Structure 1
């Protein structure tokens, strides 16, 4: 599973850490069960009884079981019910589940809208997996980082993010995934994000792992939000020379600190052109792919 990159220094000396590294006030706790082990609901109750939740600043939720299990309990309602017990919670990672426990496309979810409503001071939310995932448009005054890792992100979730009012959101990452695994969004669903109107603070944008990566690149080439970005990622998808040509022919990208196009289907000449056109930008063109009998695949699906 792809890991986020190390911290980068922003203007003024402030260090921006990768999502999973918590340097905020309070403790970082992790709650999880194992396959065919103690039901997650019981583990959660023990956690609440044994930890001073008022001191928890970051919470990671690991494996909670599968929906075919008679003891299956989705963690979000439990978190919402206990919200008053976590006055200092600022970071949630929902789904710290590796392939050995569950493939990313098998992670069972539900509606996460109540999570954002119950924690108005939350600053970071990362969600892994998207089977059954639901999100409605929300207004949230504190959220700065929002990331979805999936092999197929439902169009409804993409539209909800695009339709939300998130004035402080600086970092948005979407793994759009494969249609065969629920990734049924289209480039038009991204239009409100690319316009930048509802996300005035956005500085880091990742639209990754997409089957329509060329179409995204073509839309990004003239997207108003790009002018104020520090980093842009169109990685992990089916990007070809067509998409790269659109980026080179569109608005200037020389202001970017980093352009991540890793895991791609670009030709060697196009790779050289991209690097030559952006001499002051850190361009990641690692993991060049070749079509498999004419088929193009995203990096993360099942």
Structure 2
């Protein structure tokens, strides 16, 4: 037996390759050149068979493709939402711009004259006073109607009073009371229909309750809400289809001081007629009579309800 056989104890020569040393199981190989035990594990990449690499790489590529598809779908959804939000913001900005432009350019009061502003303010104040008076009268009527035994009599009186007022406003009943007589004298230019209409509107704004217009031939026409004025021939006026020759006089019932102030405001009827070379004479009447009546239109289709 040779020395080589003796060293191994098996009678066989010692193998040339590295082998694990004798010792307890699991003890690491003390040799520096020994391979790492993990490298020999079947779970490590080095210990896997070559054929296992293909399925693993294919799975990674499949997962990467799915992730890329999800990202692309997310970007597509994000792009659609961005487009919709952008469109809505553009529409909102356009709407705000149009609104601001309309508000800034639709202010007729900013370009009005001082005389017009004074007239508008005066009309508003006069309407406020009338509305407050109407509210007080209606509240008093309500208290009377709720007063028990006197309610029926108060209701009858209130209905009669309202019928008379509506008759005066509609021009179907004559009226009398304190007021004014407004006479128009033509100058270089004849009194136009627009001047008379302005006077009627200013008198209404000042609280006129009943009006009529008379011509030089004493013919009179009741002025109601539907009355219209047209220029006629030779300086005449056509009022509700009836011709009137000058000079013209408007008889009006209401508060004389308030209506006089309304006619004499800067830029009002008196000033406008004076610019045309004419003159407006306003006279107070303790008792003004409005006797002309308006013939109501016969209704063909409308019927009262109640």
Fold shared per TM-score above 0.5: no
Q: TM-score range by the shorter chain?
A: under 0.3
Relative to the length of structure 1, the TM-score reads 0.21
